[in-house]
Amino acid sequence: MLHLKAHAAILKAYLKIMLTYRGMMILHLFRVVLMPLVIAAAWLSIEKADGNPYENSDYLLYYLLVPLVMNLTNSRSVFRFPVSVRDGTLSRELIKPYPPLMNIVIESFTNNLQMLLYLVPFTLISVFLFQSHFDFSFLSYKMVPISILAIFFGALTRLLISGSIALTGFWLEDVTTLNLLLNGSIWALLGGMIIPVATFPEKIRQIAELLPYRYMLSFPIEIFSGRLTTLAIYKGFAVMFFWIIIFSFTARFIWKRGIKIYSAYGG
């Protein structure tokens, strides 16, 4: 009960802080939205190859949903934790009556929650403006809760991957490059931000379906758009749970090793 009150207080504090910097949030919104829309415009302007399962309307809907899902599964821990090690603020978190990394998780969650205030209206307005381009026959109310569940576990997967990379901050002064490689570039390509995973060549798509990146972006959208069979959804969740377990143990292992060599200063 004490932990819940503490977490609620931290969440409220971060909401106030982020509402103070609304201009920065709007600029961040443009960054999140513009890239997928530019990519969508590129795909809509080129001729589709034979056998491509995506029509123009499919690309349009996919890239309208990308910013929303990308925001909901985003994690800022990889940027915050190394700083807390370098400036010594981690020392304060270690003596508080809740898990020391929870503060960073709540901050990341608050940032994502704030972005929804802008992204949800943008997505709804865009769907309304382009409704004549969509075929809504694929929509199934049964798929909505499954899509939400996929987003939740996709967010957990990315949190654990980002957390594992962030914890290398015990040894590395700057983990930005490592994150850009493992959690940025590969994610953008194999996660479905640049190219929808369903349109990959068969062999590359099979590899992407075994890696965790697809489940942080493309997978929930594929479920929502009715592109996956029940068996494919079950397989997707099984792969996602596998990576959640792997990175849970990985993060725990790195934390135990790192905290032993952590030397507090500053703060």
Q: How far apart are CA 260 and CA 251, in angstroms?
A: 14
Residue with tokens 């704030």: 114
DSSP-derived secondary structure for 44-111:
HHSPPPTT----HHHHHHHHHHHHHHHHHT---HHHHHHHHHHHSHHHHHHTSSS-TTHHHHHHHHHH
Task: Spell out the per-residue pLDDT of the chain, length 267, in tens.
Answer: 445 565 566 656 555 555 665 566 666 666 667 777 777 777 777 766 667 778 877 888 888 888 889 888 888 778 778 888 888 788 877 777 777 777 777 777 777 777 787 788 888 887 787 777 776 666 777 888 999 999 999 999 998 998 899 889 888 888 888 888 888 888 888 998 888 898 898 899 999 999 999 999 999 999 998 888 999 999 999 999 999 999 999 999 999 998 888 876 554
DSSP letter string, 167-197: GGGGT-S--HHHHHIIIIIHHHHHTTSSS-G
Q: Measuring CA to CA, how many Å separate 99 from each of 3, 12, 94?
A: 9, 18, 8
Q: Residue 172 has what pLDDT? A: 84
Percent helix, strand and coil across the chain, each rounded to 5? 80, 0, 20
